[in-house]
Chain A
Amino acid sequence: MSQKLELVCPAGSLSALKQAVDNGADTVYMGFRDATNARNFPGLNFDERSALKGIEYAHSRGRKVLLALNTYPQPQSWEIWTAAVDRAARIGVDALILADAGLMRYAARTHPDLRLHLSVQGSATSAEAIAFYRENFNIQRVVLPRVLSLSQVKRVVESTDVEVEVFAFGSLCVMVEGRCYLSSYATGESPNTCGACSPAKSVRWEEAADGRKVRLNEVLIDIYGPGESAGYPVVCKGRFEVNGEVGYAIEEPTSLSILDILPELQRSGVKAIKVEGRQRSPAYVGQVTRVLRQAINSATINPDGFVPRAEWVAQLDKVAEGSTHTLGALERGWQ
């Protein structure tokens, strides 16, 4: 038997949290209902009361709850972020997921016993960067941006004593997280500043003779033909013209899925795998958690004989962007 990966699942709401816990998540992660977290969408996330309920639900079943404060506070609203750190400490989350170095300094100083994780938004891609956060703020875990190959992930794990968490399933960020301003370039709001990538208020659909057009602010992101399924207009998954050719110049609509390399991740010493999707429905969370729970159990019992079951792949593809999946940067060929 090889070491069992910790399954970390998204909770955009209390019912999503319950779906994650009931279907086998070891850990759930949530955010407060404001710009302090990178999934700041209307109708999502937790106030103090619902967060407490969620923590109680998870803890009573032996599961952990992480809280993401992974946007970058600006001076005008700094106190909102520090208050969120204090609130998280008060309600008893098992760890904070932070991106901003200043906020990390505040958290480490004010709540020295609170466990800290470095968010994917912190853009740490090397053991040297991770060492910075370990030495200065005693972080216990790092979430790696989706830009490293599997061998590079292994190298990072070997070179640090900080726990490493990688993304396992969900919408694929093509750019280094925390260093992508495509959204604010088009709309004025970005994950770093507002916790929003392609904010819904900037999206406009229009039916035209040549198809269904989707614009972000005024920028034409894509045109869909009759019967073609339309995705959410993030800049990196639009169709554009480069050198006279129209196509997905950056990336096709697709989801990351690590099913194919699960035993290798386990053997590599990666501590935890994370499911993306706090903006998705409780049904999505339940479905993905259930499949990954089964897969992890199977890979733990028999790593050498592990083959992803066809029904797992089909179930995950059903909820994947463009109904298809990729290993993304983990596979050198994708890069």
Chain B
Amino acid sequence: MKISLGPNLYYWSREETLEFYEQVVEWPLDIVYLGEAVCSKRRLLRLDDWLEIGEKLSAAGKEVVLSTLVLLEADSELKSLRRIIDNGKFLVEANDMAAVHLASNNIPYVAGPHLNVYNGETLALHRDLGAQRWVMPVELSHTTLTEMQAQRPEGLQTEVFAFGRTPLAFSARCFTARAHKLPKDDCQFRCGDYPDGMLLKTQDGEPFLSMNGIQTLSAATTNLIEALPQMQKMGVDVARLSPQSHHMGKIVEAFAAVRDGKLNPTEGAEQVNRVIIGTPCNGYWYGEAGMDWSADAALAYSQP
């Protein structure tokens, strides 16, 4: 099973971003997704910058994929999308059917987690259109995935979101700007102040969600490290780790060590849970509410 680094969903400074991907070169990762998937206004790095980072990662032996925007609203966004699809070098992760439509003219793609692939017929459709890999929607369980794996067309790889604050929703409204009483058109890029999103708590003080511009994430961090052996048995090809601002190298190493059988999954979970943002969650994988954390269920499934 390969380990991938998902696209960075947050808005870090140019320097921080470049520095981050300098480190990524060294990490035990097989696949790296690059680019802006959340907000088209975020342009500290342009396509050429991402391509340059991609070249370095590619030279270090990593498969590079360019992720596309999830929510497309303006013609300028469609234009940027076309440029990404036609980059001529790297595979593309399609996060909207507009991207699928442009790519399905003979450009292979990854069917991203926002394309709503919930059944075998939709899997087959994407395979027929040229998808090489699909990413399971985050709200599906391992039970559904088992059935999907049985129906999976030959040659189509499966990727599972295994670590990170869970992407839950997208809106026309920018919640970060709203919290700062700014209009979206003059957002002043306040999302840049929140390297892991802006915390939203319930009135009894419980962290619940994380607002990242127009995107809403979970406040808890998905951690499926204990389920890696189960994923391997199910024939999952890739486990995706979504970047957080700190300790990402340690997290990648722990996942790689568990994958390679060099670290016990329970110890791996403990190591990762010590450095994650907020509390851990894994409910979706076990068919429960996404926010739930079940150490026992995870343990039971991780037994050989």
How far, in angstroms, from A136 to B122 measured CA to CA in the complex?
13
Q: Which residues of B contact A246 (CB under 8 A)?
A: 203
Docked complex: B255-304 residues within 8 A CB-CB of A: 283-284, 287-291
Interchain CB contact under 8 A, A335 and B198? no
CB distance from B173 to the nearest CB of A (A): 5
Number of chain B residues whose Cβ lies closer than 8 Å to a Cβ of chain A: 71
Q: Are A129 and B144 in contact (CB under 8 A)?
A: no
Please indicate the chain B residues that have their CB under 8 angstroms from the CB of A149 in the complex: 73, 172
- B276 to A: closest C-beta gap in Å: 17
Chain B contacts for A128, CB-based, 8 A:
72, 78, 81, 97-98, 101-102
On whether A182 and B168 interact (CB within 8 A), knowing A78-B120, A101-B125, A239-B203, the answer reads: yes
Q: Return the contact of B170 from the options A73, A179, A240 (Cβ within 8 A).
A: A179
* Min CB gap A16→B, angstroms: 29
| Closest beta carbon of chain B to A83's beta carbon, Å | 14
Residue in B97, B169, B172 whose CB lies within 8 Å of A129: B97
Partner of A125, one of B73, B168, B202: B73
Restricting to A128-182, which residues have a CB under 8 Å from any CB of B? 128-129, 131-133, 135-136, 146-149, 152, 155, 174-176, 178-182
B178-207 CB contacts (< 8 Å) to partner A: 178-179, 183-185, 198-206
Is the Cβ of A126 less than 8 Å from the Cβ of B98? yes
- Complex contact B208–A101 (CB within 8 A): no
Q: Does A72 contact B (CB under 8 A)?
A: yes
> From residue B222, how far is it (CB to closest CB) to chain A in Å?
10
A186-B289 in contact (CB<8A) = yes
Q: From A109, which residue of chain B is reached at the shortest CB distance?
A: B121
**CB of A299 closer than 8 Å to a CB of B:** no
Report the separation of the CA atoms of residues A251 and B289 in the bound assembly, to the nearest whole angstrom.
23
Contact across chains for A185 and B218 when beta carbons are under 8 A apart: yes
Q: Which of A54-62, A187-195, A284-292 contacts B (4 or more CB under 8 A)?
A: A187-195
Is B202 within 8 A of A242, CB to CB?
A: no
B200, A249: Cβ atoms under 8 Å? yes
A204-251 residues with Cβ-Cβ distance < 8 A to B are: 217, 219-223, 235-236, 239-243, 245-246, 249-251
Residue with the highest number of chain B CB atoms closer than 10 Å, among A75, A102, A249 = A75
Q: Name the B residues within 8 Å of A335 (CB-CB).
A: 172-174, 183-185
* B171 in contact (CB, < 8 A): yes
B135 to chain A, nearest CB (A): 14
Chain A hits for B205, CB < 8 A: 241
B138 sits at the interface (CB 8 A) = yes
User: Is the Cβ of B202 less than 8 Å from the Cβ of A241?
Assistant: yes
User: B67-87: which residues lie under 8 A (CB-CB) from chain A?
Assistant: 70-75, 77-78, 81
Q: A123 contacts the other chain (Cβ, under 8 Å)?
A: yes
Asked if B163 is at the interface (CB within 8 A of a chain A CB), the reply is: no
Q: Say yes or no: A102 contacts B73, CB within 8 Å.
A: no
Which residue on chain B has the smallest CB distance to residue A251? B173
Instruction: Determine if B124 is an interface residue (Cβ-Cβ < 8 Å).
Output: yes
Minimum distance in angstroms from A140 CB to a CB of chain B: 17
A15 within 8 A of B: no
A106 to B122, CA, bound (A): 10
Residue numbers in B under 8 Å from A152 (CB-CB): 73-74
| B contacts with A: majority SS | mixed
B139 interfacial contact with A, CB 8 Å: yes
Q: Mark B91-116, 1 if CB is under 8 A from A, else 0.
A: 00000111011101000000000101
Residues from chain A with a CB closer than 8 A to the CB of B283 are 188
Give Cα distance in the complex from A175 to B151, angstroms. 31
Q: Are B169 and A179 in contact (CB under 8 A)?
A: yes
Contact A242 B179 (CB under 8 A): yes
Min Cβ gap A256→B in Å is 12
Contact at A74–B201, with CB atoms within 8 Å?
no
Tell me the dominant secondary structure on chain A's binding face.
mixed
- C-alpha gap A239/B204 in the complex (Å): 11
The segment out of A29-37, A270-278, A326-334 that lies at the interface is A326-334
Q: Say yes or no: A129-B101 contact (C-beta < 8 A), given A175-B171, A185-B168.
A: yes
Contacts of B203 in A (CB 8 A): 220, 222-223, 239-241, 246
CA A106 – CA B71 in complex, angstroms? 26
Q: How far is the CA of A251 from the CA of B148 in the complex (A)?
A: 36
Q: Which chain B residues lie closer than 8 Å to A146 at the CB level?
A: 172
Question: Do residues B96 and A129 form an inter-chain contact, with CB atoms below 8 A?
Answer: yes
Contact across chains for A174 and B173 when beta carbons are under 8 A apart: yes
Which of B81, B138, B150, B169 neighbours the largest number of chain A CB atoms within 10 Å of its CB? B169
B71 is contacted by which of A75, A125, A236, A333 (Cβ under 8 Å)?
A125
Residue among A74, A132, A185, A242 making CB contact with B140, cutoff 8 Å: A74
Please give me the residue from chain B that is nearest to A184 by CB atom: B139
By beta carbon, the residue of chain A nearest B180 is A243
Q: CA of A138 to CA of B35 in the docked complex: distance in angstroms?
A: 32
Partner of B151, one of A75, A101, A133, A176: A75
Q: Are B118 and A73 in contact (CB under 8 A)?
A: yes
- In the assembly, what is the distance between CA of A334 and CA of B183, in Å? 8
Question: In the complex, which residues of chain A have a beta carbon less than 8 angstroms from the beta carbon of B123?
Answer: 102
- The reply to whether A332 and B185 contact each other, CB–CB distance below 8 Å, is yes
B residues 198-232 touching A (CB-CB < 8 Å): 198-206, 208-209, 211, 216, 218
In the complex, what residues of A have CB within 8 A of residue B198's CB?
242-243
What are 13 A-B contacts defined by CB distance under 8 Å? A78-B121, A99-B116, A132-B98, A176-B71, A179-B170, A181-B290, A184-B284, A221-B202, A236-B169, A240-B202, A242-B211, A329-B172, A332-B184
Beyond A250-B173, A251-B173, 16 extra complex contacts between A and B, CB < 8 Å: A100-B119, A101-B97, A123-B96, A126-B98, A129-B96, A129-B101, A132-B97, A149-B172, A176-B169, A181-B138, A185-B168, A223-B203, A240-B208, A246-B203, A329-B172, A335-B174
The 8 closest A-B pairs by CB, nearest first: A102-B121, A102-B122, A75-B147, A128-B98, A132-B101, A147-B172, A329-B172, A185-B290
